[in-house]
Each structure stands twice: as structure tokens, then as C-alpha cells.
Structure 1
């Protein structure tokens, strides 16, 4: 077991654009090695309260921070046509000096149904994603592109602003069909769990030797009970089971179903408070699963009783040194 690189997860659902840019600065100064950034049209619930356009934020972050950036994850299938995502990703790669990875997934109705397009079932969404990845890569080769596929049409399109090197595409995959597709076509895997079965399926389907990245959330603070309350109020939706997260269409629906998630479920599933060992043990399963880069996100950094910068100081001084001993 080798020690993963350790990154920071920028949560667009919870923080304003200016706060995200500041967090990127703090993350680099604290010694984090890369950045994840979420791509949403809506937050999961109104308590989170934000959802800036990810491509604008990436542009701003690129001007104040030199860390690699990966979207976790973009859905290039329904809300935004893959040709437009291809242009956005190419510009991001240029702005970051080639240190951009496009993380993609099959998406959630929460974000993708907003244009009124039908939200297809999971099997169709995976097929759409595979075709979208082909469209992306074809456009990134330069030259004019015409594509008339099962799901997408591109006519006489050329991206003029391109990075020097190809943009890696990592895929978020849940379930055997998605893992098979990711293993065949992706440059890497994205996950939010140290799920060794999914990682194994990805590798056996063609992903052997390809990078695996992961991300998870913690709630640092000086009072344990306050941290648990904050995490449950803002991110209790993380305890919603099964496929509900892919099919519920609005933040209010997530609020309704999150009311069924016990506070104890949140408490038992996260690292909270200022006990270093708790944060180390949350990280350990990801390292043991052989994940290459693990990103950590702070919940509740906008709360009145929270010191957002304090999280980065805590990790810089007390947690990151311990995490780098694992391996």
C-alpha cells in the first residue's frame, strides 16, 4: 500500500465563488496537492445554498492557484451538449497550464432535467455518456467535426483554443455496466467511496494501471456535537440510499427524504471535530483501497461558529503529516 496524494474538494453546492477561490489558495498553502470541484446546477438542499457555474470558478481558481484541477463530476449529456463541455474543458486546460482533468458521470435529475429534457434511465445514461466522451475526444483533436450519432449531433464544429496535450477523462462509475464502460474508455476512475469491488471491476474491464481518485467530506471544529449537527443539517442528503440521488428532481425533494436519515447515520459516517485520529481513520480505507489521490472537503465552513481558515491550519499542522505516514 502506497500513500495517496492528498487533495482538497471544492464544494460548489456550499460556497460562493469568492470563497471557493480563497479555499483554493488556502489549500495550496496548506500543502494539499490537487483540487476537486463539483459541477451542479442546484445544491442538494437549500441549507447548502450555493451553486455557481463551475467553469467560471475554474477560470478564477487558475489565476490564483497552481494545483491540478478535476471536475467531480461534470455530466456532459443532457443539460449541456458535449460539444460545449469540450470547449469549456479545453479552455480550462489552457488556463491551468495543462493541469486539468475532466471528471464525468451520468448525472442526476437534480441538475440535468432543468431544460425540460426527459431524464432517461441509468442504462441509457451510460450509453449517452460513452458517446459524449467520444464527441469530446474527437473535438479535442482539432479540425472540423461532423458527428451524427444515436444521441448527439455535431455539425461543422471546431475548437480553436486547445491545450498542448490531450485532456484526461476520468469517469464516475456505480454498478457493473458503468464500471465496464469506464474501464474500456476512461483514463481514470472517480469515486466517493473506498469501494474495492467497483475499483476491481474497473480494473478488470480495462482500467488496470489507470489512476483512481476519490473524495469525501469531514466537519472540523472545536465542538463535536456542533460539528455533527452542522454536517447533518447541511449534508444529511449523503445518507440517502440507493438510486434516489439520481432520480429526485429538486432540492426540496432531497430535504423531504433527508428527514428520514437519522442524525446518528451522519455521525457514524464522517470524521468530525478536532480529534486527529478520527480524521486519520476516515482517510485510511481510501489508502487501503489503493486509491491514488484522495480529496477532503470541509462541511460548514460558512457557519457563524466556524473558522473556515481553521480547517486548513488544522490539516496543515496536525492531519496531513499523519496521513502521509500511511503506506
Structure 2
């Protein structure tokens, strides 16, 4: 059974709206919620970037059943990993066991703000592995001292630790981070329906492969639904999501919204429409999601492009779309 989620995209809406969207998504029948954790929007046109963890705490109290997840938190620069572990444990308590910590190596756009520079990719992976070790050690419940190449922890302990250990999802884009960090994670996170990504994960995890004993492969993709107008949906996707086409090798290194604007200035609306389902056709949206479950993902979260359209999407399109997705996925 494939699970379908809704993305609370902090780049597109303010904190009050995000909480309202979370409640509406739960009522519409989505299986889980994911939330981005960024300091900046990708483009000025998106216009928002509230603090994700405050919003998550509010969402945990405003909803009752739906699982919650960061998609994803970088536990290496803006946040020390010991602090991330404390945040995650607190969220698990506030949500009644509904929280998953999604982590990744981050993007320059969000992490350079603390003035520590932006490390090379190999260093970022080393930092992520150390951070995940620290988080896991703290989740074990004891007193933690840690001396690594990048992080130190001095007599740290989580004093409010949930009975249910916080699961960890790992955002991966290639073999290097999979080999180094997958043994420290429970679930795969990926934004492309890449069968080799899933296969590499399964080889690394051995018996703990995706789809066994609750291990998940969690994907995400943008859609731009509009009740009547495919051209309006395309224009909205172009305005707010043209940055998406650069790929993560580029997106992880650009430092500012102006950098993303410059990198995407030659992206045309038709280029965006070729990669993002735009308009009222729910069958087209289903077809755009289909490659994820066909390549082995167990969970897929959609991003409705355009914060101003999310209320209408959740009111009018979410239920029929979920019915169509579940029927198609079997």
C-alpha cells in the first residue's frame, strides 16, 4: 500500500496558514505531512520562511492522527546536532509518537546565514554522518560525550525522551551519502523516482530494505493544480518553481534568492510544464506521481505550487486526487 502525503512548504505560506493547511490536509485524508525547514525561500516570488519547528509544534497540537516529518532538516550548520536531537524528541512527545526526523546535508541558501561558510560536498557528508551519530547516541538516552572531526558534545543528555524512538529519514542523492549514512537511518528520502537510488539503499541496508518492517522510501514532487486554467497553473509554477529544474547538484550550492533567479532566468513556462503537472487534469497528476511507486517508493508527498491556491486545492481537489492515486497504486 502506497501512502500519499501533503507538503507544508514554508517557502510558500506563513505560519498561521501552514497550521490551517495541516488541519485541512488531515481532514481531506492525506496519510502524512512533511514540512520544509529552511531559512530562506528559493525565489523572492515565494515570499515566506517561518521557523519550521515552531510551526510543527503548533501543527502537532492542531491535528490528531496524521504523522509529521521534517523534509528535511540540516543538522550540521544552522543547528548543532545535539539541539536537533532535543527538538526531535520534544516533537515526538508533543505529537504523541507521530514524528519522523528527516535529515540531509543541506543547501548553501539556508546554511550560510550563520557565517560559517559552505563546505565542499565531501565535508558536508562527513559532517552529516557525525551529526547522525550524535543524534542516535542521544536518542539512546544516556549521557553523551563525543569528539569528532567536526562536532564535539560535552556531557549531553535528553531529559525528556519519548518512549517511542524518533525514526530518522535520510535524504540521499547518490551512492556516497548512502554508503556513509544509510546505516544510521531508518528511511530513504528522495525527490526523484530513481530506481538505482532505491536499489543502492537496499543493498546498503541488507535485511532492512524499503518495504520491510516499516522501512519507507519517501518521495516528493511538485504539482500545480488549478480548477479550470492550465495556463494559470503553468504561470504560477513558472513564477515559484522554475528553480526546481537546476537539479540538486546546482541547487545545493547557490547562496541567495538572486542566485536562483539568475540561474533560472532562461527557464520558460513550457519547460516547467514539461516536468510539473499543471492544470485541472487529475489523471495527469496521477501519471506524474506514478514513477515513484513503480521504482519502489512507499510514500509520496505532493507540493501544491502556490500558497494562495492551497486552500482551494485542499477543499476541492485533495479528496478526488487521493481517490485516484489510491486506485492507480492499487
Assess same fold via TM > 0.5.
yes
Structure 2 residue matching 1:12: 3-state secondary structure:
coil
1:72 pairs with 2:71: yes
Q: How many residue pairs are counted as aligned between the two chains?
A: 321
* 1:259-291 deviation per Cα after TM superposition (whole angstroms, max 9, x unaligned): 022222210111111112111111111121121
1:278 pairs with 2:284: yes
Q: Following superposition of structure 1 onto structure 2, how do residues 1-327 of structure 1 map, counting pairs within 5 Å?
A: 3-66=1-64, 67-206=66-205, 208=209, 209=212, 210-221=215-226, 222-241=228-247, 243-302=249-308, 306=309, 308-325=310-327, 326-327=329-330
Query: TM-score scaled to structure 1, two decimals?
Result: 0.95
Cα pair 2:9 2:303 within 8 Å, conserved: yes
Q: 1: distance between equivalents of 2:254 and 2:52?
A: 22
Q: 2: distance between equivalents of 1:98 and 1:242?
A: 31
Cα pair 1:30 1:315 within 8 Å, conserved: no
* 1:9-35 deviation per Cα after TM superposition (whole angstroms, max 9, x unaligned): 110111100111011011011110100
Q: 1: distance between equivalents of 2:113 and 2:99?
A: 27
* 1:55-101 deviation per Cα after TM superposition (whole angstroms, max 9, x unaligned): 10000000111211110000001111101111111111111111110
Q: How far is 1:242 from its partner?
A: 5.4
Q: 2: distance between equivalents of 1:227 and 1:82?
A: 39
Structure 2 residue matching 1:269: 3-state secondary structure:
coil
* 1:114-143 deviation per Cα after TM superposition (whole angstroms, max 9, x unaligned): 111121111111111111011011112223
Unaligned runs of 5+ in 2: none
Q: How far is 1:231 from its partner?
A: 0.5
Instruction: Name the Cα RMSD after superposition.
Output: 1.3
Judge which range, 310-319 or 283-292, deviates more.
Answer: 310-319
Q: 1: distance between equivalents of 2:275 and 2:168?
A: 29
Query: TM-score scaled to structure 2, two decimals?
Result: 0.94
Cα pair 2:29 2:319 within 8 Å, conserved: no
Cα pair 2:128 2:181 within 8 Å, conserved: no
Q: How far is 1:185 from its partner?
A: 2.0
